[in-house]
Structure 1
Amino acid sequence: MIEHECRNDNTIRLAERVVFSDSFKPLYKEGMSLVEEAAAYLDGAGRGEAKALSRSAATFYAAESMRLTTRLMQIASWLLLQRAARNGELTREQVALEKAKVRLDTSSAAEALPGWAEMPADFVNIIERSLRLQDRVRRMDDEIYGEHSLSHAAANSNPVSDQLVLLQTAFGGR
């Protein structure tokens, strides 16, 4: 189990207690079940439903399914890290290093965008549930590891802007 570091403020962090108690099991099960449900839907009924969509809605569906898959894989990664920490397989420092690679910021297209109204109800349901789960996991992560954790900082960065800054730095003086 992760050693709990001493905190000067003597704050009891409820999320940390949840992750390192039996209360974590339902969250873990919910996350992994949603991953399985989404995969089964996208490979099964969703594939057929996508074929019935208009061309623009099908493009929207494809983009949204990629966002959904990414979001769920990131949630699953976070849950697996917490389980490994809980089982004593990783130290707090190892979890912090690994979770820096996990992004809990995969958004979804706004309902107001063209194409959303054409999305199959089951697909929308899975998306909405994944967003709620991501929000819960992100709040727990912020509470356990701090709002300014590496994954939170990465969530607020813009990869394109970051690359442009690197290019300007590299070639700016020439």
Structure 2
Amino acid sequence: MQQPAFFGRTYDEAMTLMVEARNYMAYVEQRERRKAEAMAGLRMSCEAMRVTSRLTQVMAWLMMQRAVHAGEIEADDALSEPNRLSGLEVCLDQTFGRDEALPTGLRSLLERSLSLYQRIARLENQMLERMH
């Protein structure tokens, strides 16, 4: 079964964002955190983990949908409770996402990962509604 065009674009977007986040965490975030005061550095670490959580959840969900389109699993199985998008409490928290004290690069990753996570959550909800 061929994947819908939106799926390929969304998967590519998620993968690109994941690589960008990885590079940011590996090369920029540590340096910026060392320059920051203790509490600001801790907040940066927490928000970096939030980006990672969002992207991990999104990629796991997209990989499950890819398996459906490849005929490896049934759509019902992909939308069963253990395979659904999770981590809503952490991933949807925006408490510090727009904090001007956070580096611009991290704020950008927070904003874009949130947008992607919310889009996938809406898509999953639509799919669940169609099933019932």
Indicate the TM-score class for this superposition, using the shorter chain for normalisation. 0.7 to 0.9
Flag structure 2 segments of 5+ consecutive residues without an equivalent: none
Query: Superposition RMSD on alpha carbons, in Å?
Result: 2.3
Contact 2:97–2:110 (CA<8 Å) still a contact in 1?
Answer: no
Determine which of 120, 123, 126 is the counterpart of 1:137.
120
Alignment of 1:66-77 (within 5 A): 66-77=49-60
Determine which of 7, 11, 15 is the counterpart of 1:32.
15
Query: In 2 relative to 1, CA 112–99 (structure 1 residues): closer, same or farther, beyond 3 Å?
Result: closer
Contact 1:104–1:134 (CA<8 Å) still a contact in 2?
Answer: no
Determine which of 108, 115, 118 is the counterpart of 2:93.
108
Provide the C-alpha distance between the structure 1 equivalents of 2:22 and 2:119, rounded to a whole number of angstroms: 21
Provide the C-alpha distance between the structure 1 equivalents of 2:112 and 2:83, rounded to a whole number of angstroms: 22
Alignment of 1:9-158 (within 5 A): 20-97=3-80, 98-100=82-84, 102-103=85-86, 105=88, 106-111=91-96, 116-146=99-129
Provide the C-alpha distance between the structure 2 equivalents of 1:73 and 1:138, rounded to a whole number of angstroms: 13
* AA aligned opposite 1:31: A
Provide the C-alpha distance between the structure 2 equivalents of 1:85 and 1:27, rounded to a whole number of angstroms: 16
Structure possessing the higher radius of gyration over alpha carbons: 1
Query: In 2 relative to 1, CA 112–128 (structure 1 residues): closer, same or farther, beyond 3 Å?
Result: closer
Query: In 2 relative to 1, CA 99–41 (structure 1 residues): closer, same or farther, beyond 3 Å?
Result: same
Q: TM-score, normalised by structure 1?
A: 0.66
Provide the C-alpha distance between the structure 1 equivalents of 2:53 and 2:35, rounded to a whole number of angstroms: 24
What is the aligned length?
128
Query: In 2 relative to 1, CA 32–140 (structure 1 residues): closer, same or farther, beyond 3 Å?
Result: same
1:30, distance to aligned residue in structure 2 (A)? 0.3
1:93, distance to aligned residue in structure 2 (A)? 2.7
Q: More helix per residue: 1 or 2?
A: 2
Flag structure 1 segments of 5+ consecutive residues without an equivalent: 2-18, 150-174
Q: What is the percent sequence identity of the aligned residues?
A: 26
Provide the C-alpha distance between the structure 2 equivalents of 1:56 and 1:23, rounded to a whole number of angstroms: 40
